[in-house]
């Protein structure tokens, strides 16, 4: 299909012609621009978010569209940005007036003025995001491409319309967007643009953490995030966002003993987990699973390199990192923290002949996270030795089967004590006290050790036995 036919098809909904007609009545020109044009040409799955630029007031055009088109919602105006949003059917349209920047003699601050389409295209981040599709009746379907964005799309390259230094000074987030688009679209970044990013990398420090994290999320949600993270590193951006990851770099050797490079290993694990899950937070756990290794690294004459307690240290670092990056300190953070904390547990189990009790404890401690934890551990297998690769994976198959067997018998996941604190208090006619806790703990341990099954009668008998040891006398029968 030709470029023209592809675009005509992407914008064939009668709504687009109608918007062009409304713009014409208002004596302005309107265009779809940015991601929607780019993605249509790349034949990526087309989003319903459409950016529309007009040579006039975007807000007025939005109001007229909402007035005249059926299935329109209310207009939301963002005065500070000079933009307005309207839903029409399943589309979400964002309108903006074309702008240009001019610099006044005595000030370095730009003054934003009304401009024409080309002024606006110049101010955009990449040539492939500056392609505009005309909507007015006389020119409907014309592609306006003053910066050869189409050629760059073909060559799969990200290039700025103006000099990279100008474009990135306008908004340093664009340096991260370059990496994000390169990863999402599998594009390269033009060498001159790369050079400018390297020079300007520390400018990302002025950005809000929220904007940075939005880009990191998008990189993490791609199929091969390592491409993005290694690019961030190469461009000097990663150290400003994740110094903890940069500290994992390098291989040290003492007395002929080396450890693996945990920096590259981390991104391999991230790529691996992306093959099995779209869960953003599980991907975060893969990214952070080894961050405790830099501060805990030691060389020991007898055993070589050790990272004792790295899971514990790493879990604490997850909290600090989330806080610094202004990510919510909610259950998602706790989820990542718990996975980092437990990241070595199944590995230990998989390495030896494992008892039911060890499996039961693992399932108890992991709770609902057991499946994700196993996925993380399997993704952690990055050995290049095919025999070891197979052995490790087989060991996990065995662990998985053991978990199924133990679960069938004992239902440890979402463990609810078969005899609870209330019942113990009622049985012995006491209020909350230390003994209640001790009895509960004793029953739980007996179940996890496999001494008794996870069942009411066995637990009840155990309660009576432990209570007697503690000097408590039953007051009433609880099973009436």
Measured from the CB of residue 96, what is the shortest distance to ligand CTP in angstroms?
Answer: 9
Using CB under 6 A as the criterion, which residues of the chain lie in contact with ligand CTP when the complex forms?
A: 34-35, 51, 124-125, 129-130, 171, 173-174, 177
Minimum distance from residue 211 beta carbon to ligand CTP (Å): 9
Least CB distance to ligand CTP at residue 129 (A)? 3
The Cα–Cα gap between 328 and 368 comes to 21
Nearest approach, Cβ of residue 87 and ligand CTP (Å) = 16
| Minimal distance, residue 274 CB to ligand CTP, in Å | 18
Nearer to ligand CTP, 153 or 286 (CB): 153
Residue showing the smallest CB distance to ligand CTP in the complex: 35
Strands (E), 145-213: 157-158, 188-189
Residue with Cβ nearer ligand CTP (24 or 214) = 214
Cβ neighbours of 408 (radius 10 Å)? 8
In whole angstroms, the minimum distance from the beta carbon of 341 to ligand CTP comes to: 34
Measured from the CB atom, the residue of 125 and 423 that comes closer to ligand CTP is 125
Enumerate long-range contacts of 137-143, CB under 8 Å, 24 or more apart.
Answer: 137/17, 137/20, 137/21, 137/24, 138/24, 139/29, 140/17, 140/20, 141/4, 141/7, 141/8, 141/11, 143/3, 143/4, 143/7, 143/37
The smaller minimum CB distance to ligand CTP, of residues 160 and 454, is found at 160
Using the Cα atoms of residue 330, residue 269, residue 208 and residue 243 in order, give the sign of their dihedral: positive
**By C-beta, is 185 or 458 nearer to ligand CTP?**
185
Contact 355, 385 (CB under 8 A): no
Closer to ligand CTP by CB, 211 or 265: give it: 211
- Strands (DSSP E) found in 34-142: 49-54, 76-78, 83-88, 91-97, 99-103, 110-114, 132-134
Contact call for residues 97 and 57 (beta carbons, < 8 A)? yes
| Nearest CB to ligand CTP, comparing residues 55 and 378 | 55
Q: Residues 187, 153: contact at Cβ < 8 Å?
A: no
Partners of 103 in the β-ladder: 110
Minimum CB–partner distance for residue 282 and ligand CTP (Å): 22
């Amino acid at each position: 299909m030709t470029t023209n036919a592809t675009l005509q098809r992407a914008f064939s909904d009668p709504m687009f012609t109608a918007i062009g007609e409304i713009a014409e009545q208002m004596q302005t020109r309107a265009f779809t621009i940015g991601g929607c044009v780019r993605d249509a040409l790349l034949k990526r799955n087309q989003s319903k978010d459409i950016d529309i630029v007009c040579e006039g007031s975007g807000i007025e055009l939005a109001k007229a569209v909402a007035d005249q088109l059926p299935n329109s919602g209310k207009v939301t105006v963002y005065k500070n940005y000079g933009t307005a949003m309207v839903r029409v059917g399943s589309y979400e349209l964002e309108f903006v007036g074309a702008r240009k920047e001019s610099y006044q003699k005595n000030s370095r601050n730009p003054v934003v003025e009304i401009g024409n389409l080309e002024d606006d295209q110049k101010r955009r981040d990449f040539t492939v995001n500056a392609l505009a599709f005309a909507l007015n009746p006389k020119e409907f379907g014309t592609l306006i491409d003053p910066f050869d964005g189409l050629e760059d799309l073909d060559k799969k390259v990200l290039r700025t319309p103006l000099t990279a230094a100008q474009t990135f000074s306008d908004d340093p987030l664009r340096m991260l967007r370059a990496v994000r688009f390169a990863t999402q679209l599998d594009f390269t970044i033009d060498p001159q643009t790369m050079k400018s990013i390297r020079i300007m990398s520390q400018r990302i420090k002025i950005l809000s953490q929220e904007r940075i994290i939005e880009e990191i999320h998008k990189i993490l949600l791609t199929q091969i995030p390592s491409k993005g993270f290694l690019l961030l590193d190469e461009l000097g951006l990663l150290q400003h966002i994740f110094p903890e990851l940069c500290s994992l770099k390098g291989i040290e050797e003492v007395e002929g003993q080396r450890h693996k490079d945990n920096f590259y290993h981390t991104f391999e694990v991230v790529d691996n987990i992306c093959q099995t899950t779209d869960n953003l937070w599980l991907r975060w756990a893969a990214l952070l699973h080894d961050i405790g290794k830099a501060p805990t690294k030691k060389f020991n004459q007898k055993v070589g390199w050790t990272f004792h307690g790295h899971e514990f240290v790493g879990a604490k670092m997850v909290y600090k990192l989330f806080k610094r990056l202004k990510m919510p300190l909610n259950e998602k953070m706790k989820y990542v923290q718990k996975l980092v904390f437990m990241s070595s547990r199944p590995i230990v189990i998989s390495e030896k002949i494992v008892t039911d009790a060890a499996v039961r404890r693992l399932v108890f401690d992991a709770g609902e996270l057991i499946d994700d934890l196993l996925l993380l551990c399997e993704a952690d297998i990055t050995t290049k030795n095919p025999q070891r690769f197979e052995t490790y994976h087989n060991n996990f198959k065995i662990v998985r089967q053991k978990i199924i067997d133990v679960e069938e018998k004992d239902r440890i996941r979402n463990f609810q004590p078969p005899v609870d604190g209330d019942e113990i208090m009622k049985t012995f006619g006491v209020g909350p006290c230390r003994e209640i806790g001790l009895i509960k703990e004793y029953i739980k341990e007996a179940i996890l050790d496999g001494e008794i099954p996870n069942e009411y009668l066995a637990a009840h008998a155990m309660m009576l036995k432990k209570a007697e040891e503690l000097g408590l006398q039953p007051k009433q029968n609880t099973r009436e």
